[in-house]
Amino acid sequence: MVFKERRGGDTVDIKKEIDKPYEGVYLGYKGIITKLGDQKIYRFKGDKGRVVEIYGFTMLNRAMDNVMTGEKCRITYQGTQNMDTKFGKKDVHQVLVEVDDEYTEEVDDEDVPF
């Protein structure tokens, strides 16, 4: 018998890697409070069952509002784009959220421990 260490899910800040896709079945999100305010952490189960968590940001939060638990997603950070905001012209983080319409998985409450 060979034992290997298992740790909690990895929480990633995808804004550090432009054009790197993250794929997995969407399990849900949890809210946390940071020094900057409320933030969401999205939870995905990858192909080998490994859990990956992604820190939310405005554009990702908006896109994820349209994703259902159990849907297979691909999330790709695309860098920033200078845009008009309520605070004036600002660099805004951009993200591509894609859903595989041909794949859905039943998500049990046990898969979402928050």
Return the SS3 of 59. helix
Provide the whole-model pTM.
0.83
pLDDT tier at 2 (50, 70, 90 boundaries)? confident
Residue 49 is which amino acid? G
Query: Strand 51-55 vs strand 71-85: parallel, antiparallel, or unpaired?
Result: unpaired
In this predicted model, what pLDDT tens digit does every residue of 4-31 receive, in sequence order? Answer: 666 665 689 999 999 999 999 999 999 9
pLDDT of 40 strictly over 60: yes
Q: Where are the alpha helices (DSSP H) in 1-114?
A: 58-64
Q: What domains are there in the chain, each with its CATH number?
A: 10-107 (2.40.50)
pLDDT at position 39 over 60: yes
pLDDT at residue 13 in the model: 94
